[in-house]
């Protein structure tokens, strides 16, 4: 008898193999796998009592907590669809997403109850509001409801092509789109990650990455598949991160490059005593080679660069170390590690194509668009067939990422197509210029965008965050770039800023920078 490919299989296995192993740590709360999965079962039973059935949507607005994690099992194992929402959005965004997905139940952390109460009158399709901690007027108390229900929920037959989650994109330039991920999509993404990255029950994972972001890159289920401990983190603060790494014996975490920079730039006092050998994944934006060097040299951690999109469940490439990389100097190795790498064994086929759909030569120079087809590509955008047809053409998902392929087959993103700067007819990769600027000892973070220029059409504008105590000038930074790159790639303007606008997942919001006062066209 065939069994559906579903992450729920990992929960079944964990119940049998790891019942007494520590599963979840959330501040002062600790649960074994037996306790954690019983809580999930009780919440499944409670949801069914509230009228939630197969295909119904249950929305969550919460940071990385044990109750949020429980939703990744309790909701899908009864055939319902989990909708994890970016908690840093505005109330009007909450309203749009909750209404668009047709959520029957909304579960919220106490920090967001007031925001939901402010729009509650417009959420006419929602039947129940659940306070994941504490309580509110007209809100169901999560803990007391969970405790009042028997863990024997009514089992539901799940097909691997059923929806598992609907993950909404950031919606920076338009309304968020709901990415439909199936049980099969997530299962095969998990298996691909496990095939390339060795994890064991002795590993302990720190939740620095938001769980809502593409289902925490599926580590919401990967950790359980390997019997690892989920160590929850409600606030991404470097001192707290280092404290937990030391106190909880953390061996693995994931983070966007901007988060890595903040961690690696922490003071020596904060970093003191941190173990070496911690492994981490980075994705969400191409990491600069300088950032990789900083993490591996200063902290002695092992960084792996992965790439994907919410629409691909999410990982499709893995910068997999090759035998010939072993003896390379760190500076050279960091350049290779900054590439997106090769297909995961289970993700499907990746091709970088030109405007005519032909695969670009593997010369490390010819620019094309990353396209992918296969096991991890989304079912489509929820209730948005036009957007689905625009993104998936002839069976291939088009990423919008501009990349090259090196002779060894490793893909390397040069930019988002919308972020490629065309100056005087020349293409300039903002990622390349950012990577160069990050090698300057005074620079902590940088974002480069194209700004209108009277003569060249547009030119690079660098927004720079300096390190604490770092000193430099606009002319110094321009000279630094000019020494390493073609002169036409040198920023026309440099603005020093206190911080860069970012999404909740650490991506720099370049559209905000383009619209800033500092970006007014100059002659």
- Residue 243 has a CB neighbour count (10 Å cut-off) of 14
Q: Quick one: pLDDT at residue 381?
A: 98
Classify domain 420-519 at the CATH class level.
alpha beta
In tens, the pLDDT along 150-208 reads 999 999 999 999 999 999 987 555 688 999 999 999 999 999 999 999 999 999 999 99
3-state SS string over 399-439? EEEEEEECCCCCEEEEEEHHHCEEECCEEECHHHHHHHHCC
Secondary structure of residue 140 in the 3-state scheme: strand
Query: Rounded to whole angstroms, how far apart are CA atoms 231 and 217?
Result: 16
Q: Quick one: pLDDT at residue 173?
A: 53
Residue 215 zone, left/alpha/beta (φ > 0; ψ -120 to 50; rest):
left
- CATH code for the part of the protein at 35-182: 3.40.50.12780
Residue 209 zone, left/alpha/beta (φ > 0; ψ -120 to 50; rest):
beta
**Sequence-separated (6 or more) residues with CB below 8 Å from residue 7:** 72, 76, 164, 183, 186, 187, 190, 218, 221, 225
Cβ–Cβ < 8 Å for 316, 411: no
Q: What percent of the chain shows pLDDT beyond 70?
A: 97
Q: What percent of the chain shows pLDDT beyond 90?
A: 76
Identify the helix (H) or strand (E) that includes residue 36: helix 33-49
Q: Quick one: pLDDT at residue 523?
A: 31
Indicate the pLDDT class of residue 294, thresholds 50, 70 and 90.
Answer: confident
Q: Quick one: pLDDT at residue 504?
A: 63
Identify the helix (H) or strand (E) that includes residue 128: strand 128-131
For residue 122 the two structure tokens come to: 């417009």
Task: Name beta bridge partners: 317.
Answer: 307, 343
Query: CA separation (Å) from 505 to 171, 242, 360, 479, 494?
Result: 13, 20, 31, 32, 25
Smallest Cα–Cα separation from 261: which of 447, 418, 512, 474?
447
Q: Quick one: pLDDT at residue 171?
A: 57
DSSP designation for 137: T
Smallest Cα–Cα separation from 420: which of 409, 410, 433?
433
Secondary structure of residue 193 in the 3-state scheme: helix
Q: Quick one: pLDDT at residue 307?
A: 94
Cβ–Cβ < 8 Å for 106, 94: no
Please identify which residue in the block is written with the tokens 């909880």: 248
Ordered by start, the domain boundaries in the chain are 35-182, 236-373+399-416, 420-519
Smallest Cα–Cα separation from 49: which of 14, 74, 23?
74
- CATH code for the part of the protein at 236-373+399-416: 3.40.50.12780
> How buried is residue 323: exposed, middle or buried, by Cβ count under 10 Å (0-12/13-18/19+)?
exposed
- Residue 17 has a CB neighbour count (10 Å cut-off) of 11
Query: Rounded to whole angstroms, how far apart are CA atoms 434 and 429?
Result: 9
Residue 489 zone, left/alpha/beta (φ > 0; ψ -120 to 50; rest):
alpha
Query: Rounded to whole angstroms, how far apart are CA atoms 217 and 189?
Result: 9
Is the pLDDT assigned to residue 45 strictly greater than 90?
A: yes
**The residue count for the chain:** 523
Task: Name beta bridge partners: 404.
Answer: 412
Q: Quick one: pLDDT at residue 522?
A: 36
Q: Quick one: pLDDT at residue 425?
A: 65
Averaged over 54-67, what is the pLDDT? Answer: 98
Averaged over 128-143, what is the pLDDT? Answer: 94
Cβ–Cβ < 8 Å for 336, 325: yes
Q: Quick one: pLDDT at residue 148?
A: 97
Cβ–Cβ < 8 Å for 413, 340: yes
- Residue 220 has a CB neighbour count (10 Å cut-off) of 27
Q: Among the listed ranges 56-60, 72-76, 164-168, 295-299, which one has the minimum average pLDDT value? A: 295-299
**pTM across the whole model:** 0.87
Smallest Cα–Cα separation from 433: which of 502, 425, 424, 423?
423
Is the pLDDT assigned to residue 518 strictly greater than 50?
A: no
Q: Given this chain, do its domains 35-182 and 236-373+399-416 carry the same CATH topology? A: yes
């Amino acid at each position: 008898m065939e069994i559906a490919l579903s992450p729920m299989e990992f929960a079944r296995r964990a119940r049998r193999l790891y019942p007494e192993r520590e599963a979840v740590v959330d501040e002062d709360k600790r649960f074994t796998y037996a306790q954690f999965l019983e809580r999930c079962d009780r919440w499944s039973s409670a949801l069914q009592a509230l009228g939630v059935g197969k295909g119904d949507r249950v929305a969550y607005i919460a940071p990385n907590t044990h109750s949020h994690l429980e939703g990744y099992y309790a909701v899908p194992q009864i055939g319902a669809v989990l909708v994890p929402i970016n908690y840093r959005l505005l109330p009007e965004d909450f309203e749009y997403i909750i209404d668009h997905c047709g959520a029957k139940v909304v579960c919220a952390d106490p920090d967001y109850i007031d925001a939901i109460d402010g729009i509650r009158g417009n959420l006419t399709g929602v039947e129940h509001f659940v306070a994941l901690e504490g309580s509110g007027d007209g809100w169901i108390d999560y803990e007391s409801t969970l405790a009042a229900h028997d863990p024997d929920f009514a089992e539901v037959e799940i097909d691997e092509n059923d929806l598992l989650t609907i993950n909404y994109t950031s919606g920076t330039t338009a309304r968020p789109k709901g990415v439909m991920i199936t049980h099969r999509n997530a299962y095969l993404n998990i298996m691909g990650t496990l095939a390339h990255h060795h994890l064991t029950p002795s590993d302990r994972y720190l939740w620095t990455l938001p769980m809502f972001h593409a289902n925490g890159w599926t580590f919401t289920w990967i950790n359980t598949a390997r019997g690892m401990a989920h160590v929850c983190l409600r606030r991404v603060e470097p001192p707290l991160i280092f404290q937990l790494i030391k106190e909880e014996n953390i061996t693995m975490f994931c983070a966007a490059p901007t988060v890595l920079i903040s961690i690696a730039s922490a003071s020596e006092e904060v970093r003191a005593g941190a173990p070496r050998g911690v492994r981490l994944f980075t994705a969400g934006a191409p990491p600069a080679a300088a950032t990789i060097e900083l993490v591996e040299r200063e902290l002695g951690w092992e960084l792996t660069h992965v790439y994907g999109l919410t629409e691909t469940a999410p990982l499709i490439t893995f910068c997999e170390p090759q035998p010939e990389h072993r003896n390379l100097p760190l500076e050279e190795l960091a350049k290779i590690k900054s590439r997106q790498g090769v297909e995961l064994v289970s993700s499907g086929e990746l091709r970088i194509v030109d405007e005519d759909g032909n695969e670009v030569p593997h010369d490390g120079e010819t620019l094309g668009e990353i396209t992918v087809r296969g096991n991890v590509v989304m079912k489509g955008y929820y209730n948005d067939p036009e957007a689905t047809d625009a993104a998936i053409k002839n069976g291939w998902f088009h990423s919008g990422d501009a990349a090259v392929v090196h002779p060894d087959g490793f893909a390397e993103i040069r930019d988002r197509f919308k972020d490629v700067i065309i100056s005087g007819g020349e293409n300039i990769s903002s990622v390349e210029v950012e990577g160069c600027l990050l090698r300057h000892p005074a620079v902590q973070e940088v974002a480069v965008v194209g700004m209108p220029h009277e003569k060249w059409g547009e030119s690079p504008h660098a927004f720079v965050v300096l390190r604490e105590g770092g000193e430099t000038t606009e002319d110094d930074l321009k000279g630094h770039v000019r020494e390493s790159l073609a002169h036409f790639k040198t920023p026309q303007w440099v603005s020093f800023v206190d911080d860069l606008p970012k999404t909740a997942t650490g991506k720099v919001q370049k559209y905000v920078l383009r619209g800033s006062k500092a970006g007014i066209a100059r002659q």
